[in-house]
Structure 1
Amino acid sequence: MGGSDVWASGEAYERYMGRWSRLVAARFTDWLDRPEGLRWLDVGCGTGALSATVADRCRPRALLGVDLSEPFVRTARAQVPAGSFAVADATALPVPDSAYDVAVSGLALNFLPEPAAGAAELARAVRPGDGLVAAYVWDYAGTPGFLRRFWDAVATVDPAAAVALDEGRRFPVCRPDRLRSLWTEAGLTDVMTAPIDVPTVFTGFGDLWEPFLAGQGPAPAYVTSLAPGDRDRVRTAYAEAVPLERDGSIALTARAWAVRGRRPAG
């Protein structure tokens, strides 16, 4: 049984993760507490959840979002008319040194082959002195949210896949100590981390399960790679692993870890 990190449909991603990403983005920008009229860079912008929040809440003078997925960039352009968007590699940004006041990244660092190179590029892009670099990633390993419960359920029916594909194992940068080290090694100062918790409420198990059938992201890609019988076994194990409210809804919490730091002067 296999799987891969597929990111090809903006609409499918919105149903799977985008709706929760928007909740995190709002709390993240509140935490950054930046004034209006700044130049913002959103790296790994995806479908534009963080870019839209920056445009609405921070009123930037300029906003550029970049992502390696052309379909995601196309979705972001449609959703955030106030921003500019480009297809680009997060580890080789097509921007001049010191061009931005704030460089951010939402839910993308985990998927970079070299997160340290991505952090260095974010730092390069902001102006020395008080340029701010910040990011957030899901806490795949700790909080028992819907993804943690999914991989724990997979472990009961397909242990090898859980070992190989579980994001909590694959992405160590989802922990605050690793984020802090990443930022410090990029030469940033005044580094801080913080948890951001958001409610993830599903109307029923179908609302939770159906996005896994679209193949967007590691867990859904794994689900769609399965033979029907194996997929049914995973579905059953997952349904047994999540708590149902009296009305059939499922109320969980997702945690993201956020990090921020400044590019020093000189």
Structure 2
Amino acid sequence: MTHPVWADADAYEAYVGRWSSLVAGDFVRGLAVAPGRHWLDVGCGTGALTSTVLGEADPARITGIDPSAGFIAQARARVQDARASFHVGDARALPVADRAVDVVVSGLTLNFVPEPARAVAEFARVVRPAGVVSAYVWDYTEGMAMMRHFWAAVAHLDPAAAGRDEASRFTVCRPGPLRELWVDAGLRDVSVRPVDVPTVFADFDDYWRPFLGGQGSAPSYVTSLGEPQRAALRDLLAAQLPIEPDGSIRLTARAWAVAGTAP
């Protein structure tokens, strides 16, 4: 599950992590899981979804697993709750016994797993009968406006970079493929729904600065550019983004949430 650019937790938070908490709230409330359950958060990252589960679902306990030691350290610092524990681990070989948890969730992670079907099979293995298995991923094809504006500008200036666009790389981040993964893992009553949240940037610098952090496909592309090319991209974005009279940029982000139950 390791992805080479996801290592700096602060840079991740500035780029897309700050929006993930908004999605997490809608996601957890939509699951409507009763209190007192044991949750497993796979690909827990910096702890955004774990924190939301603790605040919204009143679990008996929740275990977070992520391949990044840096993210696990950030999650431990962020989540000060005795019900939560965090461990370094791989979604494709979870260090969890069969039928050990009531709920398995995964936020904004599945597209980074080299073998997503193997990961979902692991989700199904560790959940108890009638337990919930659910995940959400960004809609890179249409729903992530901050990235769509970015890659449209890149396509204009550097058509050869099209293959770096998440929309072409993460084909699993669509309703059909997500549903298929859950069904193939033997999960039942599978559903997929959109989760839309606002992504409001205070000004253009608030939008642009996170792309300089090197975390993610778009920021890593920016850091690979020479200064003239980077300035040209910045200027084109500043000209094309829908900037409000007060300087703010009001966009939206969509995630797809998939859920099913174990037989």
Task: Give the structure-2-normalised TM-score.
Answer: 0.96
- Please tell me the residue identity of whatever aligns with 1:181: E
CA separation in 2, counterparts of 1:135 and 1:204?
A: 32
1:147 and 1:239, CA in 2 relative to 1: closer, same or farther beyond 3 A? same
Map of 2:229 onto structure 1 = 230
Map of 1:96 onto structure 2 = 97
Cα RMSD, aligned residues only: 1.1
**Unmatched tracts of structure 2, length 5 or more:** none
Map of 1:218 onto structure 2 = 217
CA separation in 2, counterparts of 1:27 and 1:57?
A: 10
- Please tell me the residue identity of whatever aligns with 1:240: A
Map of 1:243 onto structure 2 = 242
Matches within 5 A, 1:68-83: 68-82=67-81, 83=84
- Number of residue equivalences: 259
1:231 and 1:5, CA in 2 relative to 1: closer, same or farther beyond 3 A? farther
- Please tell me the residue identity of whatever aligns with 1:244: I
Map of 1:208 onto structure 2 = 207
- Please tell me the residue identity of whatever aligns with 1:156: H
**Unmatched tracts of structure 1, length 5 or more:** none
CA separation in 1, counterparts of 2:46 and 2:259?
A: 22
CA separation in 2, counterparts of 1:49 and 1:212?
A: 21
Q: Report how far residue 5 of structure 1 moved.
A: 4.8
Matched, 1:122 2:123: yes
Q: Report how far residue 241 of structure 1 moved.
A: 2.7
Matched residue SS, 2:53: helix
Matched, 1:174 2:173: yes
- Please tell me the residue identity of whatever aligns with 1:169: S
* C-alpha contact 2:138 2:144 (8 A) present in aligned 1: no
Matched residue SS, 1:29: helix
CA separation in 2, counterparts of 1:117 and 1:68?
A: 16
CA separation in 1, counterparts of 2:240 and 2:31?
A: 35
Deviations for 1:173-197, whole angstroms, at most 9, x for unmatched residues? 1111111011101110100000000
Matched, 1:85 2:86: yes
Matches within 5 A, 1:49-68: 49-68=48-67
- Please tell me the residue identity of whatever aligns with 2:115: E
State the identity %: 57
